[in-house]
Amino acid sequence: MDFDLMKRQGDVAGNTLLVIGGIQGDEPGGFNAAALLATRYRIDKGTLWIVPNLNFASIIQRSRGIHGDLNRKFDFLPPADPEYHLVKEIKEIITNPQVDLVLNLHDGSGFYRADYIDSQHNPKRWGQSCIIDQSLLAGVPFGALEEIGQKVVRETNRKLDNPAHRFSLKNTQTRAEDQVMQQTLTFFAIENNKPAFGIEASKNFRTNVRVYYHLQFLEAYMQELGISFRRDFELSPQGVEQALKQDIRVALNDHKIQLDISDIREQLNYIPLKKGSKLEFESDNPLVAVLPYRNKYRIHYGNNRLGFLRPQYFEYDDSLASVLVTVDGLSKEFKMGSIVPVAENFLVDIPDGYRVNIIGFTRKGVRNERGFRVHKKDIMPGYSIDKGGQVFRVEVYRNDKFAGMLLMDFRAVQHRTKLLALHQAEQ
């Protein structure tokens, strides 16, 4: 469960912002915001370094810290501590000469206010705040911490629809007043002449709203550093909620199997996994993991446990890299592991010696289902991989060995347009 360092660099050089999420595994606003930053933003100028899942094991366990609070281990840490090497590695990233500014993303309780208002709005709360350890870090670019923090707070508050959700700047005066905060990641950065801020979205909000506020802050800091960017979703609570649920995929065993897990069933049975081999998985989303659980595998997406894979083990055959599929009248080669958009029907053609098994499709007396033109109505919806009954498995075998899988995806009306674009791109 190592963390990821994801680098996004624009075509034009500029400052480097390091964003860290997931230092505490029970704060999904922070690590989901960092993950969206890594996967749904494009950088045109400057550089982003993103660690979206610093304490990945604790994220999976929905725990603040399975080995204690990781954000209290940046002062002295004995080598026997189970997170010693993790802390050592992130310290090396923070102190890298290329890093100009560090943001550590958190979710905090209630609403920080400088004066006591009520139990949820007072100086001891942390939510909706921008945290600095001191007012000034002299002699380094972006060292005017209070000035920059106030500017970013004003910019963020200017865009809020609800003034009750406003952010405030909180100076912990760490060096003079707070020995506990002297053990934190941001104070370690300050001690090493790296400007650093903590961002706290309120735990009183749903996760998508927390992520929305984090992204508002992140964009304000990118503008402050002169980092130019684009994103492919609307920055609103609704747009963030949709982005968090879109296009979440995991590939298994050298991409012979790819699953869209955004609406996956609670259990998928008889997934053909490689006999005698440890399961390998990859995902473009850094919050996805597939881990052993009893005699199955459990799929995790951040704090969420999405479903189970019940395996059936096979020897693997590597002789067929792609499959010819005719989709809505257009023929195209698809690599094993592809997710194929379908509007009306599909037909799978493979060489002699291979067998097609369309899961949920049957013809009496037929074992090899190649060459059949199949519509969605021909497949039993209970065999789909998604809860909506729209995405179906096509498995290919050579004798008794598994050669690979395709997913036939009937979900979107835009699929025909997508397929035409794929076809035209190859002409």
- 104 part of a folded domain: yes
Question: How far from the centroid of its chain's Cα atoms is residue 6's Cα?
Answer: 11
Phi/psi of residue 296, nearest 5 degrees: -130, -170
Q: Are 296 and 309 in contact (CB under 8 A)?
A: yes
∠387-389-394 over CA atoms, to 5°?
Answer: 110
Checking if the pLDDT of 212 tops 90, the result is yes
Specify which residues 10 forms β-bridges with.
Answer: none
At 412, the amino acid letter reads A
Confidence of residue 131 (pLDDT cuts 50, 70, 90): very high
Closest CA to 19 of 252, 210, 186: 186
- Whole-number Cα distances in Å, 380 to 311, 385, 398: 21, 11, 25
- 67 part of a folded domain: yes
Structure-token pair, residue 233: 């979703």
Q: Are 168 and 128 in contact (CB under 8 A)?
A: yes
pLDDT value of residue 418: 56
Q: Can you tell me the distance from the alpha carbon of 160 to that of 215, in angstroms, rounded to the nearest whole number?
A: 12
Q: Are 277 and 266 in contact (CB under 8 A)?
A: no
Question: pTM of the full predicted structure?
Answer: 0.92
152 and 299, same domain (yes or no) = no
Residue where a domain stops, chosen among 244, 267, 301: 244
Residue where a domain stops, chosen among 205, 223, 244: 244
Q: Can you tell me the distance from the alpha carbon of 375 to that of 426, in angstroms, rounded to the nearest whole number?
A: 25
Per residue in 145-201, pLDDT (tens digit) is 999 999 999 999 999 889 999 999 999 999 987 788 999 999 999 999 999 999 999
283 and 376, same domain (yes or no) = yes
Q: Identify the CATH number of the domain in which residue 212 sits.
A: 3.40.630.10
Confidence of residue 207 (pLDDT cuts 50, 70, 90): very high
Q: What is the domain range of residue 80?
A: 6-244
pLDDT value of residue 422: 58
Q: Can you tell me the distance from the alpha carbon of 313 to that of 279, in angstroms, rounded to the nearest whole number?
A: 11
239 and 251, same domain (yes or no) = no
116 and 263, same domain (yes or no) = no
Q: Are 162 and 123 in contact (CB under 8 A)?
A: no
Checking if the pLDDT of 11 tops 70, the result is yes
Per residue in 48-74, pLDDT (tens digit) is 999 999 999 999 999 999 999 999 999
Closest CA to 2 of 47, 60, 49, 48: 60
pLDDT value of residue 280: 94
Residues near 380 by Cβ (< 8 Å), separated by ≥ 6?
Answer: 360, 361
Considering the chain, what percentage of its residues have pLDDT values greater than 70?
A: 96
- What dihedral do alpha carbons 63, 67, 71, 74 form, nearest 10°? -170
The per-residue b/e assignment along 309-330, b for 16 or more CB within 10 angstroms, e otherwise, is bebeebebbeebeebebebeee
pLDDT value of residue 247: 81
Per residue in 357-368, pLDDT (tens digit) is 999 999 999 999
Phi/psi of residue 49, nearest 5 degrees: -110, 125
157 and 84, same domain (yes or no) = yes
Q: Is 425 helix (H, G, I), strand (E, B) or coil?
A: helix
Specify which residues 63 forms β-bridges with.
Answer: none
256 and 222, same domain (yes or no) = no
Residue where a domain stops, chosen among 244, 264, 287: 244
- 254 part of a folded domain: yes
Q: Are 57 and 85 in contact (CB under 8 A)?
A: no
Q: Are 336 and 405 in contact (CB under 8 A)?
A: yes
Q: Can you tell me the distance from the alpha carbon of 404 to that of 412, in angstroms, rounded to the nearest whole number?
A: 24
Per residue in 365-406, pLDDT (tens digit) is 999 999 999 999 999 999 999 999 999 999 999 999 999 999
* Count of domains forming the chain: 2
Q: Can you tell me the distance from the alpha carbon of 85 to that of 242, in angstroms, rounded to the nearest whole number?
A: 36
413 and 322, same domain (yes or no) = yes
Residues near 285 by Cβ (< 8 Å), separated by ≥ 6?
Answer: 35, 39, 248, 249, 301
Q: Can you tell me the distance from the alpha carbon of 214 to that of 201, in angstroms, rounded to the nearest whole number?
A: 7
pLDDT value of residue 161: 83
N-to-C CA span, the chain? 42
Which string of DSSP letters, residue by residue, matches 281-310? EE-SSTTEEEEEETTEEEEEETTEEEEEEE
